[in-house]
Amino acid sequence: MSRAFVKEPDGGMPDEGLPERQISDHPNYVTPAGLRKLEQRVGELEERRLELLAQAEREEDNGLAEQELAYVDRDLRYFTKRLETAILVEPKGQPRRMVKFGAAVTVTQRQDGARLTYTIVGEDEADPEQGRISYVSPLAAALLDARVGATVHWRRPRGDRDLTVEEIDYPE
């Protein structure tokens, strides 16, 4: 059936409510910084929720607060669950000579000689543009358990890369 004949819900919200944010099946490992970010995010969402409830009671926004509240409630459920299931991995407990969770790994790409640093973090902490990669990513999988001087093969959709591990550090 053409979408032209399907009634869209009023207010931009699906009739059946917002879908829940997907929770990963992987263990929820976090660095100390990641744990602090989760705690901060839950606090921010709780504050915003209270603001929106007060705003909705005053009915000064024609239902906009209630719409935003649905998103805030959904995110609050997600981040609260992530905080409850967080498994803190302390950098000081990791082996210094091997790439493990929490390591900042400096590598050289064999193909072009580029030198890059990646930090292996939890799924919610990942930010590839900042060099923070999830421990379940293909790049992290290639690097885990490597030692300085090792060459690892990173399988990528845009073409495989060989990386040589130059340095391993565990930032506190």
Give the model confidence (pLDDT) of 4-52 as tens digits. 443 444 555 555 688 999 999 999 999 999 999 999 999 999 999 999 9
Which distant-in-sequence residues (6+ apart) come within 8 Å of 149 by Cβ?
Answer: 164, 165
Give first-to-last CA distance, the chain, whole Å: 56
Q: For residues 116 and 106, what is the distance between their CA atoms, to the nearest angstrom?
A: 6
**pLDDT of 85:** 98
Q: For residues 54 and 13, what is the distance between their CA atoms, to the nearest angstrom?
A: 21
Same-domain pairing of 80 and 98:
no
The residue segments making up the domain with residue 79 are: 26-88
User: Quick check: 68 pLDDT over 70?
Assistant: yes
Q: For residues 98 and 42, what is the distance between their CA atoms, to the nearest angstrom?
A: 33
Strand segments (E) across 24-150: 29-30, 87-88, 104-109, 115-121, 132-134
Same-domain pairing of 112 and 143:
yes
Residue 5 inside a domain? The answer is no
**pLDDT of 15:** 52
Task: CATH number of the domain at 72, please.
Answer: 1.10.287
Task: CATH number of the domain at 159, please.
Answer: 3.10.50.30
Among 71, 88, 105, identify where a domain stops.
Answer: 88
Number of domains in the chain: 2
Segment holding 39, helix H or strand E: helix 32-58
**pLDDT of 161:** 93
Average pLDDT over residues 57-85: 88
Give the model confidence (pLDDT) of 159-168 as tens digits. 999 999 999 9
Give the model confidence (pLDDT) of 108-152 as tens digits. 998 888 999 999 999 999 999 999 999 999 999 999 999 999 999
Q: Which of 109, 118, 85 is nearest to 160 (CA)?
A: 109
Same-domain pairing of 77 and 113:
no
**pLDDT of 168:** 97
